[in-house]
Chains A and B, each alone.
Chain A
Amino acid sequence: VNCQEVVHLAPLYLSGEIDATRAAAMDAHLQTCPSCLHELEQQALQDSRLREAVHSEVADDATVIRRLRESIAECKGHQARRRILSGLRRRWVAVVGAAAMLLLLAGGSWLFRAPQIAEVCADAANDHRTEIVNKEPRPWLTVPAQIAALAERQGISGGAVVTLAPGNYHLDRARLCYLDRHVFLHLVYSDGAKEVSLFLRARSGSQQNPSGTEEEGTPVGRPDVNHAHLASFETARLTAVVVSGESPDAALQFAQSVSAAL
C-alpha cells in the first residue's frame, strides 16, 4: 500500500475491521513511513481523548428509565386492551362467519331442494283458480303441435299429453308456470263447459319422493284448496297434480288415467 491508501484505510485499520492481508501490508508500510505512522498514532491518540472526554460527561439515565417505565405501563394497558378486543373481534368474526355459513347452507338447501308435493298442490290450486276459474289473461299455447313440442322440451312425452284428455275433454291450451319455485307444464283440458288442469314436471333421477309416505306412482286425492279438488302422484320420472272444479273423484280418476298413460 502507499500513503494514499493508508489514509483511506485508516478508519478500518483503527477499528480493527481490515482484513489480515491489508493489515500486514499497512504494517509493512508504517515501518518504513514515519509520516503515516505519526498520522495514525495521532489519530489513535485523538480518538482516545475524544472517547475519554465524552465518557467523562455525566449521563444520568435514571430519569429516562423512570419515564420510560411509566410510558410502557400505559402502553401495556393499551396493548392488553387492544389484544383482548382483537380476540373478541376474532371470536365475533368466527361466530358471524359460522352463522353466515349456516344461512348459506340452509338457503342453498332451500333453494335447491326438490319440490314439495304439498307446496306444489297449494300453488297448483292457486294457479287454477287465478288462470282457469277467474280467467285472468295469460299467454297460452293452443296449437297441439306447439304444446307437444313444449312438453318434449320439459322431458315429457309430447304425444301423450295430447291424448291424455279424459272422456269428452280435449287438450285446450298449455303454458309453463312455477309451482314451489320449480317449472311445471300447465295443461288445460276442456269439455266445452268445464275445465281441468294438469300440472306435470319431469323429475331428475336424484330427486326422491319428498313426501316419502305415498306409494310411488299411485295417485292420491289431496285436501281441497279454495273449493278446488286435487289429486296427485309422483314417480321416479314425474310429478303430476290434477286440479278439478268438478269433484274429488273426477280429479282422482283423471290422475289415475294420467298415471297409467305416462
Chain B
Amino acid sequence: LLTLRPAPGLEERITTTVIARQDEFERAAMPHARSLLRVARRLAADGSAAEDLVQETLLRAWRSFHQFQSGTNTRAWLFRILFNAFYAHGRKLRSAPVLVPLPTPGGGAESDTAPTISPLEATAILRALGELSAEHGSVLLLVVVEGFTCREAAEILALPIGTVMSRLSRARGALRDRLEGGPHNLRAARAGTEYLEKEAS
C-alpha cells in the first residue's frame, strides 16, 4: 500500500533547486577565489596547501550557502571562513615560497597598473612578509593587500578593532624593520605603546 518512492517531480524540483543554488554560488563566491588564494599562499606552507585551504574554504561556504543572506559582504564572509579553516588546522607552517614572475611582454602579474617595484624588490617584500608572525601577516594581508577596513578585518579575525589597529601598527613597523634592516621609528613604536597603555588604563 505504501511504497518508499519520492513524490512525483520531487527529484526534478530538488535538482533544479540545487542547480540554481550552484549558479548563485558561482556568481557570488567564485570571483573571490583568486584573492582567497593570494592570501592563502601567504598563510599556508606551500602552493598545494594554499589550494587545499581555499578549496576547503569554498566547500565550507557552499555547504552553508543556504544560510548566507544575500546583501551581506560575501568577500568578508569568505575570508572569515578562510581564516577559520586556517586556524582550525593549527596554523600550518607558513609561508609559501615566493613566486614572483619575471617581467614579460604583456604582463603576467595581476595588477593593471605598470609595476613600480622590481621583481627583486617584490621578492624581498614577500620574504619579509613571510617572516612576520601569523597575527601581523594576517592584518597586513587583509587591510593593506585586500583593502578591508580595520572594522571588517576585526570581524573576519574575530578580534576587537583596537587589537587589529595595534597589530597593524606593529606589523607595519616590523615589516619596515625587515626591509630596512633594523628597528625603525622607535619614537613611533614607543609613543604608540604608551598611548595604548594609557587608553587601556
Contact = CB atoms under 8 A, between A and B. Distances in A.
A3 B185 CA distance: 13
Given A59-B41, A61-B33, A72-B22, 12 more contacts: A3-B187, A3-B191, A12-B150, A17-B151, A48-B116, A51-B144, A53-B122, A54-B141, A58-B109, A71-B59, A80-B11, A95-B2
Contacts of B144: 47, 50-51
Contacts of B199: 8
A11 interface: yes
Contact of B192 (A7, A12, A92): A7
A159 to B, nearest CB: 59
B: contact size bracket:
35 or more
Interface in A60-74: 60-61, 63-65, 67-68, 71-72
B126 A87 contact: no
Contacts of B141: 54
Q: Which 7 A-B pairs have the closest CB atoms?
A: A53-B125, A53-B122, A4-B195, A56-B109, A61-B33, A7-B192, A11-B168
A88 B176 CA distance: 62
Q: Is the interface of A mostly helix, strand, loop or mixed?
A: helix
Given A4-B194, A80-B18, A83-B14, A50 B145 contact: yes
A176 interface: no
Contacts of A72: 22, 25, 59, 62
A131 interface: no
Given A11-B143, A80-B11, A55 B149 contact: no
Contact of A43 (B109, B117, B172): B172
B104 to A, nearest CB: 11
A46 B116 CA distance: 12
A206 interface: no
Contacts of A71: 55, 59, 62
B86 to A, nearest CB: 15
B38 A59 contact: yes
B82 interface: no
A79 interface: yes
Contact of B165 (A12, A58, A63, A95): A12
Nearest to A67: B55
